[in-house]
Structure 1
Amino acid sequence: MVFNDAERRYLAGQLLGRLATVGRAGAPQVRPLGFRVNDDGTIDLGGPWVARTQRYRNVQENPRVSFVVDDMTPAEGPEAIKPGMGRGVEIRGRAEPLRVDDPPGHPSMAGNDIIRVHPTRVLSWHIDPEQPDGRSRDVGEAR
C-alpha cells in the first residue's frame, strides 16, 4: 500500500498540489495542479493542454519529480494535529506522460494528456494522530 489511511483521507480532501520538475538545463520548475489518487497509489495530474507545457517536456527529459499537497492544520476538531502548523504529503517518484480516456479534473477543463506519478518515497506530517510528527518511507522502486 502506497498511502496509509490518514494520507489517503487527507489527499482525498484536497484539490490542489504542486509538481516540481527539472528541465534540460537543470532549471527547476514548480507548478500548481489538480490531481487524482488512483487505486494503485499512482497520482494523475491533468488540466488543459498538458502536452504543450514545460512540465510535460521536463518529465519527458527527466522523469524524477516531487509532488506536494499541503495546507494549514485546523485549530479544532479531529484533524487538529499540531494546530497552527502546516500539514501535508510529499510524494517523490517517477513520472510518465500519458494519454488517457478518463483524465482527472472537471471535464470542461481536462485534456486527455496527463502526467502520472509512480511514487517511490512518501513523506507526511501532521495528518496522522498515531504519528503526529510525521513519517517517511520508501514505497516503490526507482527506475
Structure 2
Amino acid sequence: MSAFTTAEIEYLRGQPLGRLATVGPDGRPQVKPVGFLLDPETDELVVGGYAGSGMATSKKFRDIAASGVAALVVDDVATVDPWTPRGVEVRGVAEACTAGGAEIGKRLGASFDFDPAFILVRPTRIVSWGIDGSSYEVSARDAVRVG
C-alpha cells in the first residue's frame, strides 16, 4: 500500500511541474521548478532533466549529493472563483543518481528523454491540502509505505 492516498497519487500523476527545495553546504536554501514523475512501485518522486541538460552539474544535484534531503511542492489553483488552492508537499530523503535516468524515464512514461543523472525523493513527510478535503483542510503525516 502506498504512502500516498489515492487522491494524492491521481493529483501527482496529473501535474507535470513541481518546485524542488534544497539546501546548499552554506545553509542557504534554493528552490527550482522541475519536472517530476511518481514511481508507483516505490513511492519515489523522480526528478529528471531532459537528455543533455547536464543534471549532474546543477546546483540542486550537488546540494542533494551533499545533504541527502529535499522537499518537492506540487500545487495549483483548481478554480479562482471560488478560490480553491490545492497541493502536495513531500519532504524526504533525496539521492543524486548519476546513471540510469534514461531507463527510469522510459519506464515511467516521461514525455521527453531523461538525462542519465536524476534525483530521487523518498517521502518521510507528506502534507497535502485541497486533495482529500477542502482547500483549507490540511493533511500532514509521516510517510509510511505498507506492503
Same fold per superposition (TM over 0.5): yes
Where do residues 85-96 of structure 1 align in structure 2 (5 Å cutoff)? Answer: 85-96=84-95
Residue 10 of structure 2 corresponds to which residue in structure 1? 9
Alignment match of 1:124 (pick from 109, 112, 128):
128
Report the AA paired with residue 66 of structure 2: E
Measured in 1, the distance between the counterparts of 2:34 and 2:13 equals 14
Aligned-residue CA RMSD (Å): 2.1
Where do residues 1-143 of structure 1 align in structure 2 (5 Å cutoff)? Answer: 1-39=2-40, 40-47=42-49, 48-74=53-79, 83-98=82-97, 99-100=99-100, 101-103=103-105, 105-108=110-113, 110-129=114-133, 133-140=137-144
Secondary structure in structure 2 of the residue aligned to 1:85: strand
How much has 1:140 moved relative to structure 2? Answer: 4.2
Structure 2: which 5+ residue stretches go unaligned?
Answer: none
Identity within the alignment, %: 37
Report the AA paired with residue 76 of structure 2: D
* TM-score, structure 2 as length reference: 0.83
* TM-score, structure 1 as length reference: 0.85
User: If each structure's helix is expressed as a fraction of its own residues, which one has the higher value?
Assistant: 2
CA contact (8 A) 1:102 1:112 kept: no
Regions of 4+ moved over 2 Å:
73-76, 101-108, 129-132
